[in-house]
Structure 1
């Protein structure tokens, strides 16, 4: 969010200095106006929204205490910072009863003023978090309920909660939207889906957007209006953001108890979107004899596995495999279902290697999967398959191992100083060797990769309203807020403040949309 400031001082030089010669953008602030006395300030506050008022205490017509008193009585959400001289300090303390945020002695210290602003911002954020808007609460409750229904068995209590929230799941289709390549930045995609869509609601499910299309009555084939809407979304994303969007659409459903199955179908349809025109795949078009007994969670696990392989995150891919096999073992999953999921992993590895212009893994792995006599031999085969994929992904096994270690170190030390020298020291190799190997495997320099990772992480933090922009800078390793702002704008085209405003605006629920 951007905080609007009003600067009040009867000295023109002081007003100009505070208003114009502090990097307010780095603090998520904007000077909304200035005033030469307390009465001008009060009139400004009546006419224009303000978050923080910085005011001198001694001024003609009406002083700073009069401003603080007016704010306390009429707009107590505004924070007041009083500027006062030593002689007036005892007098200024009487303003404590007006909930003044901070007292700063003149001559004003820039560092002290900025710290007071940051403290006032935190007070405002905390206060606003405690006062939620009804529409936002309703949208949040809807998202949470649908998310809960996606990942668990249907409970009788869901029916009452659906009714209370005005959600009717008697005739509907579910569509899963995926950015290609898979990305965590889904706010832009969600804003497109919500824009003017009165018969749909959507929510984020990990790094996918799940949309529910409500129908007036029974409809066994996907309505043209739904297909056209999905096509519009893919075109808009490609036109405005140069990114591809894939869509998977479930079969028609007429019961709330089928919701998790519908989501699973939509996600699974994404796995064969490649064979469909305009990146829209229908689950109903799948071969009838195919075994698709997968939960939404299993489908999502496979997506994560493939995405990690594409992005050289082999350790993360291994973590997904451990998670999948732990679920197999703890739930005594049917052997045919377990083998079916593992066979899909084989084809994922095929796609990953072929895309890198390498040969697919030997068919022997698929034979061993289908003929595995127990869960332990199945697990051993799949991990061997991933090791084979990793070794043949690009270059030599040694290069891959070096790259893997470098990427792991970058992701786990993102807030710390990172450079070619730091990484080469950590990996105990020469800086030139690391630079050449990283560029060969990744296709971009180490510095560019670090900046990309930091900016992508910063985007995630900026979607959270409880973290201010200058705090985001520290969290991703840029310890100068002004430099962070410039490097962020270089990679995204907008400042951190503008990005947050756009993301929050795109996520603001529209009541007409049914969210």
Structure 2
């Protein structure tokens, strides 16, 4: 609703006009009154009127002077001038100042309301234009911010295009100094309670860190800070060249760590890359900062890790913990979910503690996941385990973790889920694992069968299956399989006219010499002798 400021040195006229507008023109609101031009100017900021209705002749400052100042300082405010003097000179001067109308005092109310109606239409049109302009400004600002983020991300990724560099000024990016250093600030997730992290929007943590870093950048540096993920913030610092300036970057990173820990109870780890001599080389500094950040796996969080200081640490290779590995594999393949998760966490923890090289740790973790991935493929349970993800995505997520706590938890969770899937498969089978193996042997005895292969079918460790099998049947897995094949060969020798070589192959024996030896050991006769004796005819 548009507003009006009434200016007149006669109080009776001010009150009368205010009352009349309130009664007869509900589209307008009187936001204030003033006795003269001086008082009107004092109240302009508080009233913020859209229209000023002013008398001409007033003490201290008349209506013409007031109108002149309003035109200069408040160009959007419309003026209606009233006077009891029918002097054309006043009307001409007022109209030259931009007055929307010059009315005799007291005005004809129809004439006044006609003027206000026109001003109302203009006010509405102007409001729409201002709103559209504001929305346009907001959209343009948003586009600039998005473009700015894209250019910064491309700079540190090394993918920025020449035409994008030409837009630096347009998006407000200025780098007056000859050297650049990239810092990557990573939230230590183990410094945030699970409840606090889940209840809050994770992106708010990164927003808090980015604002904090931006505020601590000293005036002698130019710093562009942007969010690269829920837990990661990148700071591209532009500064003078030289070792002292680069050391100042490291000191800045340490201040950030200290201040965030002191003021928020959160902790961060910051990787600092080496100094770059040109903007295109900022990607190298970023890659070095990311590499330095990997050493959080070895050295822990809540610290600054400079690339120069960490680059020489790699060398000692990780050794696979043998006993822990055996416990992990047995628990997982037997479907013991809790034991598998715990064993995986213990295995990963020992792996991290035994190596000073993050690359070796990541490599061993990936090898281990791929080992069990192959087992999941053989058991046809990859989708039940990983869902819509591909294994390479799982590996990439693991390699992006630079916290030993997060890595052990993530690794334990992945293998724990696989154990749960295997456990569910076994429960769905609803048969004793030995019965499942027997059914498998009877169906596939003619094919190459191993204890390990049979154990995979029932999700057991081979040694554990061997023990169960012997306990249940009184013979070993190999003995049972051999006896079954010999019995099948006997049937074929007695009830078919197949050649001995064909019978050997159909019964699951790899070659006829092996078949002859095993058959005679089991029956005391060669296959030919067995056929001749039992059938009473010459062998074919």
TM-score normalized by the length of structure 2: 0.38
Task: From the CA coordinates, give the structure whose radius of gyration is larger.
Answer: 2
Q: TM-score, normalised by structure 1?
A: 0.39
Higher relative contact order (CA 8 A, sep 6+): 1
